Structure 1
Amino acid sequence: MSGTEKALQGVADTLREFWAHRPVRPRAGRKLGGVATGIALRYQIDPVIVRIAFVALALSGGVGLPMYLLGWLVLPEEGDEVSPLESLTNKGHSSMSQAQTVLLGILLFPAFAFTVGSGGFQVFVTLAASVACIYLLQKNRGHLAPATLAEPPPVTPVPGAPAWDPLGAAPFAWDLPEPAPRPQPPAPRPRKPRIGLATLGVATLVVAGSAIAGIWSPWFTAPHVIGLVIAVLAAGLLIGSFTGGGRGLIWLLVPLSVVGFGMTTISFDGPTDFGDLKATPKTLAEVKDKYEISVGSLMLDLRELPDSGSVKTTVESDLGEMVVHVPKNADVTFRCEASSIGELNCLDRRADGSTVQVDGTDLGADGEGGLKIDLDVLTNVGEVRVLRD
């Protein structure tokens, strides 16, 4: 077996060991589903760090949300035989009902589809870093026994018993003097690894490399670069949680995550990028080449246009509902598409599911002639309707 094959075999063995002794979601001390708390207890690290890492991953291309939902489905709850997902296949009992499990599974698909559809290369890097962190956790701390949130009950000393015999097991020797404490040598101060400095160095290299790569590729915009830096900081925080260092990265990670989330969600060109957008042009000249919104509801009403001429427009959204009303007698050539997941109803042509599209030409009630409309309605995740009324 070659060195590469041995290394791959070692990685596979570590991941199998992780699955065999995966974290258990506790019933106490959790904030939502217990995924972050279960990971923290399994590897004896601070639960706050794991929660912050999930939030950072959620703001870095949205990866944290599907990862958390997946952990909720595949990690068993304390006291259960199997995970909720395994319970659906009758492998054992889970306290989560099958209806709740199916609902979580339904939520997982649009969350993952939206993440993959909107993040691109950034999502791939973040997922790879997350898997690497899980591998390192199992490799370095998989041998540890899971911690517990419950404290052992205190020992109640017997009245009159000396400190060295709090249970009063040897009353015949109570008159002996207390033993002098044994002097202990001073404990050496552990040398913490400089995870924080190393992570900042990698983040600096990412920024510099992105600036150079931006000369050839338009993908390396400010929001994407910030997302890559957030992924690096989150990975450094997770590594530092079990090597003893890097906690100071929180003070950079949190504000940077907020800035990155704002830059990817809110457009600074106008207020219509987030919320509701309604447009009712009355002349052909008023029809824009494109109507777009990031998240929200978009309604375009073309019913007040004149009965002759031609017009072409595109309606586009990342997440939400889009409705286009066309005149009763207009000749409409249309293309409706949901690139990740959605529901389409365009002039009675329907489709729903992942990566769906409908197109065609509808001549209206009067047949060919009159106003001609060329229409593209595109969404990433959402509902699309083109109605003639």
Structure 2
Amino acid sequence: MSGTEKAMQGVADTLREFWAHRPVRPRAGRKLGGVATGIAMRFQIDPVIVRIAFVALALSGGVGIPLYLAGWLLLPEEGDEVSPLESLISKGHSSMSQAQTVLLGFLMFPALAFTFGSGGFQVLVTLAAAVACIYLLQKNRGHLQPASTLADTPVTPPVPGAPAWDPLGAAPFAWDLPEPSPRPQPPAPRPRKPRVGLMTLGVATLVVAGSTIAGTWAPWFTIPHVIGLLIAVLAAGLLIGSFTGGGRGLIWLLVPLSVVGFAMTTINFDGPNDFGDRNETPKTVAEVKDRYEISVGSVMLDLRQLPDSGSVKTTVEAELGELVVHVPKNADVTFNCEASSIGELNCLGKRAEGSTAQVDGTDLGDNGEGGLKIDLDVLTSVGEVKVLRD
């Protein structure tokens, strides 16, 4: 067997050990399904670090979402014989119902579609980093007893009636011998913490430099993709540092970078580069523009001073922000309101919120059909949309 084959066999054996002694999702102290808490307890690391790592992976192309769902399905709950997925195929008992297990399984499909549909190479790198972290955890801390059982190890009480062993029982004259003085021991050398944070920052610097060079001939290395790679490197460094010591300072770089990465992958900046607030109040039909758009900020379009006849068609659009349109009481308004990523809509009494929210319809106003006709599109990626008649 060659050296490469031996190395691959060692990795496979370590991953098999992880599966054989996989974490157990606790019933207490968990935030959602107990996956992060179970991993932290199994390998005696800080649960906050594991949760932040999952959040960072979720913001890095969405990888953390299917990984968390997979842990929910494949890790048994405290007190159960097997995991929910194994229980579904009749391998033992799980406290999760089959309906809940099937629902989690169905949630995997949109999670995987979103992850692989938006990430590409970045997703593969992040998945490889996650598998590498699992391998390192099992390799370096797999021998540890889960933290939840350390304090529960029973102490065997003495058997009632059994004679206690007395090493001086046969030599009463030795009972008053002085205690030997302990031999002074040299102070134990303080273990040197590996500089995981500095090493991770070094790798991150190499990623930036390599991406800058590769970006001259490979169009894939855009700013959002490079940020995704940096998030994957920092998340891997944070997990490695959780069981080797150090690296906690990476949190202060990982969290804001994850927020920036989420914003850049959610918001399309190919449109206008306007920032701030816009207030428009056209008084004639001719003054109404075909489009009012902004990148980040707010747009307030007041159409209440338009005449009672004629027709207008306009679009109000923002990537991130608040859009408010006021229409006359008697106008016939055909509207389409949409938040393509996430937002809250309130358009002439129709409401919607969440991801990819949309409402549309026609509202004839207080006097019914007749008068000024308005065809209105109000669109945002992330934000709030209002069409008000007041």
For 1:116 and 1:16, locate their aligned partners in 2 and report how far apart those are by CA, in whole Å: 26
The reply to whether residue 266 of structure 1 matches residue 267 of structure 2 is yes
Q: Percent identity?
A: 78
Deviations 1:16-44 (A, max 9, x none): 12111111111222222111111112122
The CA deviation at 1:216 is: 1.7
Q: Residue 59 of structure 1 corresponds to which residue in structure 2?
A: 59
User: Aligned partners of 1:57 and 1:269: how far apart in 2?
Assistant: 31
* 1:273 CA drift (Å): 8.2
Match of 1:278 in 2: none
Paired position in structure 2 for 1:2: 2
Specify the alignment match of 2:258 in structure 1. Answer: 257
**How far 1:287 moved relative to its partner?**
9.1
Distance apart, 1:143 and its partner CA: 2.0
| Cross-structure match for 1:222 | 223
CA 1:233 to 1:226, structure 2 compared with 1: closer, same or farther past 3 Å? same
Question: Does residue 175 of structure 2 align to residue 139 of structure 1?
Answer: no
Secondary structure of the equivalent of 1:148? helix
| Per-residue CA distance 1:154-213 (angstroms, 9 max, x = gap) | 99xxxxxxxxxxxx999x999999997875542311111111111101100111111111
Deviates more, 1:74-83 or 1:104-113: 104-113
**What is the identity, as a one-letter code, of the residue corresponding to 1:57?**
L
Once superposed, what is the RMSD of the aligned Cα atoms?
4.7
Contact 2:339–2:357 (8 Å) recurs in 1: no
Call closer, same or farther: CA 1:100–1:169 in 2, change over 3 Å.
Answer: farther
Q: Give me the whole-angstrom Cα distance separating, in 2, the residues matched to 1:6 and 1:241.
A: 28
Distance in 2, matches of 1:100 and 1:230, equals: 32
Q: Within 5 Å, which residues of 2 pair with 1:81-96?
A: 81-96=81-96
Equivalent residue, structure 2, for 1:161: none
What 5-or-longer segments of structure 2 have no aligned partner? Answer: 156-163, 278-293, 297-311, 321-332, 342-354, 362-390
Please name the residue that 2:383 is paired with.
none
Q: Which amino acid aligns with 1:210?
A: S
Q: CA 1:216 to 1:186, structure 2 compared with 1: closer, same or farther past 3 Å?
A: same
Query: Which moves more between the two structures, 117-126 or 216-225?
Result: 216-225
Amino acid of the structure 2 residue aligned with 1:81: E
* Residues 292 and 316 in structure 1, CA contact (< 8 A), matched pair in contact too: no
Residues 181 and 96 (structure 1), Cα distance of their counterparts in 2 relative to 1, 3 Å cut: farther
Find the aligned partners of 2:125 and 2:186 in 1 and give their Cα distance: 47
Give the AA of the match of 2:356: G
Conserved 8 A contact 2:234-2:250:
yes
Counterpart CA distance in 1 for 2:25 and 2:181 is 45
Asked if 2 retains the 8 angstrom alpha-carbon contact of 1:214 and 1:220, the reply is yes
Q: Which residue of 2 aligns with 1:199?
A: 200
State the match for 2:13 in structure 1. Answer: 13
Deviates more, 1:108-117 or 1:265-274: 265-274
Checking the alignment, whether the CA contact within 8 Å between 1:233 and 1:253 is kept in structure 2 is yes
What SS class does the counterpart of residue 148 from structure 2 fall into? coil
Q: Does the aligned pair in 2 maintain the 1:293–1:317 contact within 8 Å?
A: no
Shift of residue 48, structure 1, vs aligned partner:
1.7
Question: Structure 1 residues 180, 3: closer, same or farther in 2, change over 3 A?
Answer: closer
Q: Answer yes or no: is 1:320 the counterpart of 2:356.
A: yes
Aligned equivalents of 2:66 and 2:274: distance in 1?
A: 30
Given that residues 73 and 85 in structure 2 are in contact (C-alpha distance below 8 angstroms), is that contact kept between their aligned partners in structure 1?
yes
Matches of 2:180 and 2:295, distance apart in 1 = 75
Structure-2 change in CA distance of 1:175 and 1:29 (3 Å): farther
1:198 aligned partner, one-letter code: M
| Counterpart residue identity of residue 237, structure 2 | G
Distance 1:175 1:251, change over 3 A: farther
- Judge conservation of contact 1:206–1:228 (CA < 8 Å) in 2: yes
Query: Partners in 2 of 1:50 and 1:179 — Cα distance?
Result: 49
Count matched residues.
313
Q: Structure 1 residues 179 and 53, CA, compared in 2 at 3 Å: closer, same or farther?
A: farther
Contact 2:53 2:238 in 1 (8 A): yes
| Counterpart Cα distance in 2 of 1:113 and 1:286 | 36
Matching residue's letter, 1:208: A
The equivalent of 1:47 in structure 2 is: 47
1:15, CA displacement in angstroms? 1.5
Distance 1:181 1:103, change over 3 A: farther
* Counterpart residue number, 2:27: 27
Which shows bigger deviation, 69-78 or 36-45?
36-45
The structure-2 alpha-carbon separation of the partners of 1:219 and 1:79, relative to structure 1 and needing over 3 Å to count, comes to same
* Cα distance change on mapping 1:320 and 1:145 into 2, 3 Å: same
**84-93 or 47-56: which moved more?**
47-56
1:210 maps to 2:211 = yes
In 1, Cα distance between equivalents of 2:153 and 2:133 = 35
Contact 1:29 1:149 in 2 (8 A): no
2: CA distance, partners of 1:153 / 1:192? 30
Residue number in structure 2 paired with 1:77: 77
**TM-score calculated relative to the size of structure 1:** 0.65
Pick the structure with greater CA Rg: 2
Q: How far, CA to CA, are the matches of 1:119 and 1:54 in structure 2?
A: 16
CA distance in 2, matches of 1:154, 1:178: 31
Distance in 1 separating the partners of 2:130 and 2:207: 17
Structure 1: distance between partners of 2:37 and 2:264 = 30
Distance of 2:103 and 2:228 partners within structure 1: 29
Q: Secondary structure at the match of 2:99?
A: helix
Q: Which whole-Å CA distance do the structure 2 matches of 1:122 and 1:261 have between them? A: 14
Q: Residues of 2 paired with 1:246 and 1:134: CA distance?
A: 17
Residue 92 of structure 1 deviates from its aligned partner by 0.4
| SS of the residue 1:216 aligns to | coil
Distance 1:36-1:175 versus aligned 2 partners, 3 A rule: farther
SS of the residue aligned with 2:213? helix
